[in-house]
Amino acid sequence: MTSARGIRWGLVSFPLVLMGLMPMPARAETRQASVGNYWFEDDATGDRTSIVVNQGDQLTFTIREGIYPPHTVDVDELDIHSPDLLLGATYTTPPLKTLGTFKLYCRPHEQRGHVTTLAVRATTPTTSAPQPEPQPESQASTPTTTGAGQPPVVEGSQPAPPAPEPATPAPQPASPVPPATPAPQTTPVPHAAVPDPKSATVALQAAPPAADSSAPPAPPPDDPVTATTLTPVGVGRADPESLARAPEPEPGSLDDLIGRREARGAVPWTRALRLLVVSAVPILGAAGFSLSREAGRHRAREPERGESRRGL
């Protein structure tokens, strides 16, 4: 009796355990990055040498240090070009669907070294599913798996149209989103990425995705209808509280050398006006002193003139 009951429970729980072990594709999210003089920083890792995101993620850049000409966010290969961004502004990219490693730079300050690397990698499983055998690394590419039943993708290759997915509501972004932006409409997240068949470096290890003949043809990757947008794309305004965190100065930079402290307030540069009021005191004092001396001499000359007039 007991053994039969155990078998029944086993039959019921075994598929559940298997489902739990199935690797689920990672959810797209809006990642946060900071921009300063003259660096880009991944807020999650603090890395200024590269920003790594998963395919389908969006990136929100927050300007934490301003300068003129203002910073911009530019990735030529992904056709991302922000307008000028002042201190406290944010810029959110569209979902990053093209795999590869790209040059992320600030247009006005590129020649000053305001450049870093943006790596868009294939989505990785989020559960503790058995990892596939490591693939032999190619010098030109690094294949990575995208999940069960999906072929590896190669950095630098163009993604294929995203496979249609069940209507799963898009998740909330893990990182904070600027509250000034309205709650976005979410659509299913495309996770699948199929390597470019023309790419000679692709090592196909897994079976190709199961093609459902009844499914509608997959739309092109740039189809705006299927683009997952967790956060409104474009320029926004950062939460003032998030700006309260002073960024670490770039090692060896002028900020680092002089230990300059950031101004606080909605319009930090009004600090200049306060300094002007202070510095105007000695200037006006010197001017007033010189005028008083001139007036003193003038008064001293008046009796002499009066005497000379009387003498005449």
Residue 266 backbone dihedrals phi, psi, to 5 degrees: -65, -40
Q: Is the peptide bond before 105 cis (omega within 30 degrees of 0)?
A: no
Closest CA to 195 of 153, 231, 167, 161: 153
Nearest approach in angstroms of CB 108 to other proteins is: 9
Q: By CB under 8 A, tell whether 234 contacts other proteins.
A: no
Which string of x and - marks every residue 65-104 that binds other proteins (by CB under 8 A)? xxxxxx---------------xx-----------------
- For residue 236, what is the enclosing H or E element? strand 234-237
String of b and e for 123-142 (b: at least 16 CB within 10 Å)? bebeeeeeeeeeeeeeeebb
Q: How far apart are CA 64 and CA 198, in angstroms?
A: 42
From 1, 12, 18, 273, residue interacting with other proteins (rule: CB under 8 A): 273
Which member of 284, 302, 306, 307 binds other proteins (CB under 8 A)?
284
**Binds other proteins (CB under 8 A): choice among 291, 302, 306, 307:** 291
Q: Is 254 in the site for other proteins (CB under 8 A)?
A: yes
Identified binder of other proteins from the candidate list 283, 302, 306, 307, rule CB under 8 A: 283
Q: How wide is the angle at C-alpha 282 spanned by C-alphas 279 and 288, nearest 5°? A: 135
Binding letters toward other proteins, positions 29-68, x by CB under 8 A: --------x---------------------------xxxx
Q: How far apart are CA 96 and CA 106, in angstroms?
A: 18
Q: What does the binding site for other proteins look like in residue numbers (CB under 8 A)?
A: 37, 65-70, 86-87, 111, 254-255, 260, 262-263, 267-269, 271-273, 275-276, 279-280, 283-284, 286-287, 289-291, 293-295, 297
